[in-house]
Amino acid sequence: MVGKRRGLLVLALWGALGGAACSNTVVAAPAGSPDASKTNAKGTAKVANTEQDIAVAQRAIAQELNVTAGDVKVRPVEVNVPGITVFSASVNPAKAGRGVTRTGIIEGGKLYTETDAMSRVARAWHYGAKRTVPPETVAQVFGALHSATAESSPFIDEDTVQTYKKVSGPKRAAAVAMPKETTVDGQPAVVYYLTSSSRGTPFSAVTAIVKPDGKVEIHAQPVLED
């Protein structure tokens, strides 16, 4: 998603999480990565909140799944949402079964998921008639939050879209595209496409509608090949 960043609201958090802030449960920026040099935010209140939020998510998931905190890897999604940390987390398969994943946000020390989380993000962005973030950013966050229990991946990179067209079936190849802004009944919306690790969430076209009160409504349409 770095390649498609636009505007001022997209900031990397990896650098802010570097050094002593990193534990074995927070994936740090690798040396040489484009994010590793972005350490200008270190020491700010935002950084502290992110670290705390990750710890909150880690504890909450560990408690939920009856595992230790060390069995939970929390990865922040690298998008700046004021006051909010967006994350995905994976859990030690030996402790919680194969492929157990959690996604959500931490806001004010509390964990929210799916459309509750998306709505809080939309309000934090003041997203509405004024499109305060690009559609790729909306898709990146809402796509990541699509399911609380499965990691999803929105298409936000043109080269990935083109590669997917070559290796997928005809219907999905025809459908897949970069996120785009639209309106539904006069309300701002973003259309994007996503894949998922979940058997129950195949490749889907998703329309995220942001209501005037910031509430997000999701319409997902699976695209099946037959």
Partner 1 sequence: MGGFDKKPGGTSLTENAAGAQSGADPGKKTLTEGLPGADAAKTDPAAEVTKVLNGPANATNATKAFELIKAMDEGQQAAVVTKIGANLRSRLASHLERSAITGATEQTALRKCFDATPAGEVTTLCHWVALRFNLKVTKTSDSTGVAWDKVGLQRCWDVLQMLPAAHVEQNADLKSLTRYRSTSIEGWASDGGEAAIGYGPKNHLNTDVEVGDFTDAKDPLRGKNIFDATVRHEIGHRVDAGVGGPNYTKSDDGGGWETWDGSAGMAQRIVNASGGKISSWPDAAEKTAIIATLQHMIDARKPNEINTRLATLPFLSHAATDAKQKAKLDDIKGDDAVAALRVAFSHQGPWDLPTGGVKLGNRIYQESYDWPQWVSYKQDARAKKFSRYQFRAPGEWFAEAYATYYQPPGNKGALMAGLDDKTKAWFDAHVDPQKGKGGTTPAGTPPAGAGSAGATGTTKASGAPAAGAGGGG
- Residue ranges binding partner 1 (CB under 8 A): 1-4, 14, 27, 29-34, 63-66, 73, 75, 88, 90-101, 149, 151-153, 156-157, 159-160, 163-164, 166-169, 195-203, 222, 224-226
Using the minimum distance from each CB to partner 1, give the nearer residue, 74 or 191.
74
Using the minimum distance from each CB to partner 1, give the nearer residue, 131 or 165.
165
Q: Please state the closest distance from residue 179 (CB atom) to partner 1, in A.
A: 12
**Is-contact 49 85, C-beta < 8 A?**
yes
Using the minimum distance from each CB to partner 1, give the nearer residue, 104 or 188.
104
Using the minimum distance from each CB to partner 1, give the nearer residue, 85 or 88.
88
- Residue 96: both structure tokens together: 């919680």
Instruction: Report the C-alpha gap between 82 and 45 in whole angstroms.
Output: 11
Using the minimum distance from each CB to partner 1, give the nearer residue, 80 or 90.
90
- Residue 139: both structure tokens together: 């898709």
Instruction: Report the C-alpha gap between 27 and 9 in whole angstroms.
Output: 22
Q: Please state the closest distance from residue 53 (CB atom) to partner 1, in A.
A: 19
**Is-contact 139 154, C-beta < 8 A?**
yes
Using the minimum distance from each CB to partner 1, give the nearer residue, 33 or 187.
33
Q: Please state the closest distance from residue 129 (CB atom) to partner 1, in A.
A: 28
Q: Please state the closest distance from residue 217 (CB atom) to partner 1, in A.
A: 16
Instruction: Report the C-alpha gap between 180 and 136 in whole angstroms.
Output: 8
Q: Please state the closest distance from residue 143 (CB atom) to partner 1, in A.
A: 9
CB pairs under 8 A, 24+ apart, for 206-209?
A: 206/142, 206/143, 206/146, 206/154, 207/182, 208/118, 208/138, 208/139, 208/142, 209/184, 209/185
Q: At what angle do helices 135-144 and 114-125 cross, to 10 degrees?
A: 150
Q: Locate tokens 């504890």: which residue?
A: 59
Q: Please state the closest distance from residue 130 (CB atom) to partner 1, in A.
A: 26
Which secondary-structure segment (H or E) carries 161? helix 158-167
